[in-house]
Structures are given as structure tokens and as C-alpha cells.
Structure 1
Amino acid sequence: MAIGALIKDLRKARGWSQGRLASAINDAFGTNLDREYVSRWERSKVTPGAYYLRCLSAVLDVPLAALEGEVKRRTFLTDAAGAAIAPVVAADLLSVGFAARLQGGPSTDAWEAKLATYGTEYMSLGAADIQRRVSGELVVVQQQLDNPRLWSVTARLMTLYAKTFPGSDGSKAVQWYRLAAKAADQSGDDDARVWVRGRAAIALGYEGASLGVADVLADQAMAISERPSLGLLNAIFGKAHAAAVRGDVATAQQLMDDGRRVFDKAGSYAQTSDYAVPWWRMNVFVSLLAARLGDETTAVAAQDAARRELPAELPRFATHLEMHRGLMLARSGDVSGGVAYAQNALDSLPPEKHSLTLRLLMAEVEQS
């Protein structure tokens, strides 16, 4: 059958309108589709290219091969109906979960290795890819929660899962961050308890979203342990960003100084992982914070320092730094220039590398 008719059937299997499908792709990949473009696909006026086939595969949660015509229509519509129930096919999730319970699931060391892999892949993969894969992992690990160490694994997976929701559904992100904090408490591991709360705080604070929740989670992390750690560093900077967004300059500056002192004792070396904060990533935190505070000298110094060590394979973070400069321009009074600068930086990044966080940052520049 024609690809257009296939897209239409898949969309209807989920109960989505054409506009809802366009919005799902935009939220996940930072594109600018509208309802009319989806209509043109479905009427076979335009054939989606390889990139949009990957987008459709991700948001409709069906195999890419199916969209390329390698799976029969009936099989793939059945899968799509199941996908309307959950992020991945419900029947598959149930099967995987029961198999994990019967067979024992991966060892704790294997789970730790999985976490390390996800920490690295998070830095370059899109939210849709991470969400789909981690949802399956959460189904498996919940069958092994008689082991305290696996509560720690689960908490960190939940935190990563929550990171796939910002912008498109802030309430879901907050729900998962809170659940992750409770899971970490079950582990009895203070390092995990601090890290999960700190990671949530910096995510929300950096995005300028759910600032009250960011404050609460940061305060909880700081109360659990004052020992210098990456979790504490994230918590402090999350709280600093929340203060900066609210216009509380003195508090934000004090917290930035506190964070620098913690980094001096707990910073990472040159790892590329969401579980690491090397020098370049610390400077990304400082760059946006200083830009929000109107401290151009500190912001530019942080941007230059970050660029010197930023891995070439992480262009998304280079885009963050350029967009921080756009924010500085807008905050200094040149709103149109700042918006143009930030938009040019975003447009220079391949669409598949866009993130929801970058879209929120673009909105912040526009609203300055």
C-alpha cells in the first residue's frame, strides 16, 4: 500500500488527529511540521524522506522497516494498536516483564553497565530513542527490586526517563523525578539519593521549568549530605538557576560560588556521560547562569573555556553555548539581534540533534 495510507492508518490506530501527529514529531525532534504537511503525506502529495521516516517510527513506535514497506500492513497495524496503550507495545512489555521475573533478569553488575551505556548515549541520542528503550528497561528491573542496589539502578533509570519529557509534558517529568527520589530512598544509598534529586534539580532549573519542584529537590539533596559530590553540585546549580530565573541575583551568585567550590573537590575528568561533570560541562552550567544574571564577563569566559574542551562529537552542547550568547544579547536590550543569533545557532544544528531543552532555551530568548 502507499506510504501515505499507511501513515494515516497508524495515526488513526492511536486515535490522533493530523495536528497531534505533527505536534508529537515537533516535541520530540524540534521540527516545525504543521497539520497540512501531515495531510500532504497522507494524500501522497509528498513522500517523507529518511529523516522523517525515523521521526514517524519513533513517535508512532513502530519498526522503521514497517514504514519502509518491509512488514505487511496487517501485522504493523496490530502493533500500532498496542502502541496506543503505552510507549512501546503493551504485549511486548508484559512478555518481557514476566520473562525477567521467571529468569531472574540481568545481574546487578550488568545493570550498572547498562546505566553507564545510557549515560554516554544520553549525550547524543534523541529523547524519543531514550524514552522507548528505557521504558522497556524499567519493566524488567522492577521485577528484581528485592535487591537494594537495584533500587539505586531503578532510581537513576527513572531520572533519565524523566529527562525525555521536558517541554512536551512538564507534569510527567516532575512525576517521574519524584518517583525516582522515592526509589532512591528505598536503596538506602545516600549517594544515589543526592544524585537523583540533584540531577532533577539541574534539569528543571536549567530549563526554567517547575522551579518550585527544582528548589524542593535541591534542598532535599543538600539536606541528605553536605559531602562534595556530583549530585550536590547539580543540586546547587539547579537551585542557582531557579533563583536566576526568578531574578534573585544575590542568591544565584552565592550559589554559583558554592557550586564552584564543590566542583573543585568533586568534578569529573574528561568523561562524556550524563553521570559526569567535567570542566567543559561545568562551564556550560556557568555560561547560562551568568547569561541569565546579565554577567557578560563571566558568561563569555565560561563559553570560551567550555569550547576549548568540548568533545567534537557533541555539537548540541556547542549550540547551547551559542544560544547563551543570544540570550545575553536579548537581555542587554537587543532582543531582535539576540533572537536572530540564537535561531541561527539552532538552525545550524542538524534537526535530528535538536532537543526539547534547546527549544525551551529558544523560547526564553524570545521572551526576554
Structure 2
Amino acid sequence: MCIGELIRELRQARGLSQSRLAATVNERFGTALSREYVSNWECSKHKPGAFYLRALSAVLDAPLAALEEDEVKRRTFLTDAAGAVIAPVVASDLLASGFAARLRGGPSQDAWEGKLTTYGSEYMSLGAADIQRRVSAELVVVQQQLDTPHLWSVAARLMTLYAKTFPGSDGARAVSWYRMAAQAADESHDRDTRVWVRGRAAIALGYEGASLGVADVLADQAMAMGTKPSLGLLNAIMGKAHSAALRGDRETALRLDSAGRRVFDSAASEEQTSDYAVPWWRMNVFRSLLLARLGDERGAIKAQEQARSELPPSLPRFATHLEMHRGLMLARAGDKAGGAAYARAQLDKLPPEKHSLTLRMLMKEISHAHEGDRGVI
């Protein structure tokens, strides 16, 4: 493979457009690289000089030697894990970070909570590849510190976020991480953590329409651990509601939707922009898709309007979710082609680096939806 093809593969694996790659290099190295020049590299019209080879190595997390060779075996440097790139140099850095953390004691508990807060906010706007790369490094560090129940809680919450960077269709990876996160949560001996981890996994899988059996199991476990209103319980209930809707069990889905709204009234979040929160707008994003799946057009439109009324403008990805729900409604009403075209147009408006794996799953569901078909993926 020529260097241009490798640059393209690595860029796409990171979820970067040519423009975003150029901008990232410029931000980090003070250069004036253009999208057109990146395109020329990828088309082999030009070859990056020594300076840009080093810049690309840093930005794309690829060994410099791989970029310096004319012919390389790209599969040595690419994995199939949702487009993640784990190069040998990166693996070395991760291992070094882990051992160094163990030797010096690692971050304090307060520092870990601060990191969780940061990642919870960043997840709402960053692409899956960025989050996966950052959180994988943190997991290597935290596993060297698992000496207290609290740090097991930290690890469980990080593992749950990491699992969400894999597509729901990749059940072997996503589900494995969710299950390990649940086991780690059990080691924390903290009921709130145990419920939240299971509930977050359930809503992720239920919303995506993937691994519905696992979503039900995790939701049932969370709901059995206590009836105290919490965000974990809310996620579990809404995840199970989506699972029921996708199976065509309308009665159960609506019953769980009502139960979820009651829990929300007691446990809603004030925080607006964190994956660890469920404010009013996000609850309505959950309900918008649920009601669209059930064919309740009036209810879905109302939920969409309520979500938009409080959705922070800094979160365009979730505005795209709401528009794609409209596409699903069109498809379910019989206009399959029109619904898919509308959803695709809305997805294309969002910069590629802002795309989430959940949005891709939703696009697949809409493309396969038709009247009477529940579109289980």
C-alpha cells in the first residue's frame, strides 16, 4: 500500500475529514496545511516531507516508520474495533503510562472523579474514535490502582463509556465491555454505581436496537437492585422500553415509558451536557425515538419539540438525532425511500468527525424500516 492510501485509511479510521485533519495539524504544529494538500497526499500527487510525516504520525497515532515506508501492511497498524487505531508505538505508551501510574500511586480519587466529569461532557460532542483513544489510556492507568472499592467504581464507569465507542452491531466487543463493566461495578459494592452501569448499558443497546436480549438482562438486573429513583434506574427502564418497542410489544413499551417518566420526575438532572446526566431535553430524545418506533407520530413530534426547546446549541449531534427520528416516522408511515433520504440528508449536514456510532446504527434502522416491520438490527 502506498503512503497516500495509508494516510486515507488512518484518517478515516479516526473519523476525520480531510479538512479536520488539516485543521488538527495546523492547531498542534502552527502550520497552514490545507484540505487540498491532504487530498493531494492521498491521491499520491505529492508525498509529505519529513516535517509533515512527523506531524501526521502524532495526529493519527501511527508509527513514524509506517509513514516513511513506501509500502506497508496496513493491517499491522489498523484494528477492526470500530475503526480504532492501536499502533505499536501507542501500545508502548499505554503500557508505560500504566506502570508509571502504579509506581507513583496514580491520580487521587478526586482527580479520577474530575476525569470522569470531563469525559462525560466530552462524549456529548466528540467522535467515538477520539473518546475511545483517550479512555483506553485511562483504563490502562486505573487498572493499576484497583485497590479500593471507589476505584472499582471509577473503572466501571470508564468501561461503560468505552463500550459505547464500539458499534452495537459488534456485539462481541460492546457487550463484552458492558458485562465487564457490570462486574467491575459489583466490586465497588456501591449500589448506585451497579445500577447506573447496567442502566446505561441497557439504554445504549436498546436505543441502538442491538443485542436486545443483553439489554433486557442488564435492565432487569438494575431494576431488581432497588426501586429508589435514580438515573441508573431511569436508563434501565427506558432501555427496556426501547427493547420492547423493537420487538413489537407496544403495551409493555408504553407501560415502561410511563414508569420512566415517573422516575424522571424524581431523578432528573440539572446538568445539561454530560453522558452521566439525563436532563429534560435528553429524556425527550429517548422518548422521541421510542414513540417514533411505536408509530405514535403525535407523541413523537411533541417529544421532539420539547427536546429542541432546551437542547444546548453546543450539541448538534443530538439535534441530528431528532431530525433522523422524523425520517424514521416517514419510513414507518410507508414512505421508506423518503424517510431514508430525509435521515441521510440530516446526517450528512453533521460534520463526519461529529458522527457517533449510534447515529450510524439509527441510519441503518431507518434504511430497513417499512410499515409493519419493527426494524430490529
Q: Tell me the distance in 2 between the aligned counterparts of 1:161 and 1:242.
A: 22
Question: How far does residue 284 in structure 1 lie from its aligned partner after superposition?
Answer: 0.1
Q: Tell me the distance in 2 between the aligned counterparts of 1:308 and 1:74.
A: 49
Contact 1:323 1:341 in 2 (8 A): yes
C-alpha distance 142-73 of structure 1, shift in aligned 2 (>3 A): closer
Which position in structure 1 is the counterpart of 2:278?
277
1:208 paired to 2:203: no
C-alpha distance 207-168 of structure 1, shift in aligned 2 (>3 A): closer
Task: Deviation per CA, 1:173-203: give whole Å up to 9, x if none.
Answer: 1000000000000000000000000000000
What are the within-5 Å matches in structure 2 for residues 216-365 of structure 1?
Answer: 216-365=217-366
Question: How far does residue 169 in structure 1 lie from its aligned partner after superposition?
Answer: 2.5
What are the within-5 Å matches in structure 2 for residues 104-115 of structure 1?
Answer: 104-115=105-116
C-alpha distance 98-181 of structure 1, shift in aligned 2 (>3 A): same
Contact 1:150 1:187 in 2 (8 A): yes
Question: How far does residue 343 in structure 1 lie from its aligned partner after superposition?
Answer: 1.3
Q: Tell me the distance in 2 between the aligned counterparts of 1:154 and 1:225.
A: 22
Contact 2:14 2:130 in 1 (8 A): no
Contact 1:30 1:359 in 2 (8 A): no
Which position in structure 2 is the counterpart of 1:146?
147
What are the within-5 Å matches in structure 2 for residues 29-108 of structure 1?
Answer: 44-45=44-45, 62-64=57-59, 73=65, 87=86, 89-108=90-109
Which position in structure 2 is the counterpart of 1:34?
none
Contact 1:271 1:278 in 2 (8 A): yes
Question: How far does residue 84 in structure 1 lie from its aligned partner after superposition?
Answer: 5.8
Amino acid at match of 1:348: K
Question: How far does residue 168 in structure 1 lie from its aligned partner after superposition?
Answer: 6.3
C-alpha distance 151-29 of structure 1, shift in aligned 2 (>3 A): same
Cα root mean square deviation, aligned: 3.1
Question: How far does residue 337 in structure 1 lie from its aligned partner after superposition?
Answer: 1.5
Q: Tell me the distance in 1 between the aligned counterparts of 2:64 and 2:16.
A: 27
Q: Tell me the distance in 2 between the aligned counterparts of 1:191 and 1:299.
A: 31
Q: How many residues align?
A: 335
Task: Deviation per CA, 1:26-59: give whole Å up to 9, x if none.
Answer: 795699xxxxxx99965514899xxxx9xx96xx
Q: Tell me the distance in 2 between the aligned counterparts of 1:168 and 1:140.
A: 28
Runs of 4+ aligned structure 1 residues displaced above 4 Å come to 26-31, 38-43, 45-48, 71-78, 80-86
TM-score (norm. length: structure 1): 0.83
Moved more, 345-354 or 320-329: 345-354
Question: How far does residue 248 in structure 1 lie from its aligned partner after superposition?
Answer: 0.6
Contact 1:290 1:299 in 2 (8 A): yes
Moved more, 113-122 or 342-351: 342-351
Contact 2:327 2:339 in 1 (8 A): yes
Moved more, 87-96 or 126-135: 87-96
**Equivalent residue for 2:3, pick from 6, 12, 31:** 6
Question: How far does residue 271 in structure 1 lie from its aligned partner after superposition?
Answer: 2.2
Q: Tell me the distance in 1 between the aligned counterparts of 2:311 and 2:133.
A: 28
1:25 paired to 2:22: no
Question: How far does residue 170 in structure 1 lie from its aligned partner after superposition?
Answer: 2.8
Q: Tell me the distance in 2 between the aligned counterparts of 1:43 and 1:121.
A: 33
Q: Tell me the distance in 1 between the aligned counterparts of 2:95 and 2:253.
A: 46
Contact 2:284 2:304 in 1 (8 A): yes
Q: Tell me the distance in 1 between the aligned counterparts of 2:188 and 2:344.
A: 43
Contact 2:308 2:319 in 1 (8 A): yes
C-alpha distance 65-316 of structure 1, shift in aligned 2 (>3 A): closer
Amino acid at match of 2:331: A
Q: Tell me the distance in 2 between the aligned counterparts of 1:246 and 1:216.
A: 15
Contact 1:82 1:90 in 2 (8 A): no
TM-score (norm. length: structure 2): 0.81
Amino acid at match of 2:175: V
Moved more, 82-91 or 100-109: 82-91
C-alpha distance 249-94 of structure 1, shift in aligned 2 (>3 A): same
Contact 2:222 2:232 in 1 (8 A): yes
Contact 2:328 2:340 in 1 (8 A): yes
Contact 2:281 2:310 in 1 (8 A): yes
1:265 aligns to what SS in structure 2?
Answer: helix
1:106 aligns to what SS in structure 2?
Answer: coil
C-alpha distance 142-291 of structure 1, shift in aligned 2 (>3 A): same
Structure 1 alignment gaps of length 5 or more: 12-17, 32-37
Q: Tell me the distance in 1 between the aligned counterparts of 2:156 and 2:163.
A: 11
Structure 2 alignment gaps of length 5 or more: 19-37, 80-84, 370-377
1:294 aligns to what SS in structure 2?
Answer: coil
Q: Tell me the distance in 1 between the aligned counterparts of 2:41 and 2:176.
A: 35
Question: How far does residue 125 in structure 1 lie from its aligned partner after superposition?
Answer: 0.6
Contact 1:284 1:302 in 2 (8 A): yes
